[in-house]
Amino acid sequence: MAAKSSTARKRAAARRRTTAPAGRAYAQARRVKIPRTGPIHARLGAWMALRVVTRLADHQDIIRSRKDAAILRATHKDCPKCHGNGQIFTKGKDGSFTGSKPCPAPATREKVSRWEINRAARSINKNTGLIGWACPCGKKEKPRYRDAKEATKALRTHERQKHGGKTVGGAWYAQANETAAQPAGKTAPVSKVVTDSGKTDQQWVKQNKGMPVGKAIAAGKCWKCSGEGKLHAVFGNEQLLVICPECKGNGKAQKQAA
């Protein structure tokens, strides 16, 4: 007589437990979401929390870049190769900024104190050695990136969001050390007083060209004088022809260094 088959339901083998996150579902659960329904104060609170966290993360990235640049400036002080920047900014034949590379020369200092780094990261030259970008549409970012790749990524993100992924002439610029921007042995020319212009003070000041900052930087011109190299000013009932303090009178973006 044949044996009867068992009708008991077979249970599947127990799955091995793991501490790894559950992939996509875990990532979606961790993502901060703004509720679409519910009390208005709850939705506003979630929106504000998301904005604060994003801004705080960006601020921490900026502080980190400033401290890294301060370390490079301190360890490459008086370096004849990079002029104290820690990296070398390259330019094309037309004078436009093309990229950056680390300084191949050995460091002049082996160690920098934490107090000196924090002080340099908060000084007036805190952006020296960093890279920013500007778009002709008016959007720009101050120097905050360590190298040209990061600045390129930020510029491409802006072009995808505002210009459909097409370039409209955006450019990068680097804030270099003053010793690298102005060669040694050359002094800026002295400004002069003009007494026979034949114009009123208002007409004299209106001669300054007001080009947008982003458009001037993208064109490789000085953002302060719009490439003129001089500024018309009035002080003490005198009409002055002032040499631009930013570009030292040449009308070019002096924040670029080779």
**Could you read off the pLDDT of 62-105 as tens digits, one per residue?**
888 888 888 888 888 888 888 888 888 887 776 667 778 888 88
The one-letter amino acid at 134: A
Determine the pLDDT at residue 253. Answer: 75
Determine the pLDDT at residue 25. Answer: 47
Indicate whether 108 pLDDT > 80.
yes
The one-letter amino acid at 129: G
Segment 193-213 shows an average pLDDT of 80
Segment 47-59 shows an average pLDDT of 78
Q: What are phi and psi of 141, to 5 degrees?
A: -130, 135
pTM (whole model) above 0.85: no
Cβ neighbours, 10 Å, residue 228:
18
- Tokens coding 108: 């002049």
Lowest mean pLDDT among 133-142, 155-164, 175-184, 212-221: 175-184
Determine the pLDDT at residue 48. Answer: 80
CA pair distance 31, 54, nearest whole angstrom: 13
CA pair distance 239, 207, nearest whole angstrom: 12
Segment 212-225 shows an average pLDDT of 78
| Model confidence pLDDT, tens digit, residues 165-178 | 888 888 877 777 65
**What is the percent of the chain where pLDDT is above 70?**
78
Determine the pLDDT at residue 73. Answer: 86
Determine the pLDDT at residue 256. Answer: 44
Q: What are phi and psi of 195, to 5 degrees?
A: -110, -15
CA pair distance 189, 245, nearest whole angstrom: 10
Segment 221-248 shows an average pLDDT of 80
Determine the pLDDT at residue 254. Answer: 55
Is 84:76 a contact under the CB 8 Å cutoff? yes
Three-class SS of residue 221?
Answer: strand
Segment 215-242 shows an average pLDDT of 80
What value does the mean pLDDT of the chain take?
76
Higher model confidence: residue 209 or residue 20?
A: 209
What are the C-alpha distances in Å from 245 to residues 77, 141, 189, 228? 24, 22, 10, 12
Three-class SS of residue 58?
Answer: helix
| Model confidence pLDDT, tens digit, residues 119-144 | 888 888 888 888 888 888 888 888 88
Indicate whether 40 pLDDT > 60.
yes
- Tokens coding 171: 């450019």
Determine the pLDDT at residue 4. Answer: 60
Q: What are phi and psi of 43, to 5 degrees?
A: -65, -40
Determine the pLDDT at residue 188. Answer: 46
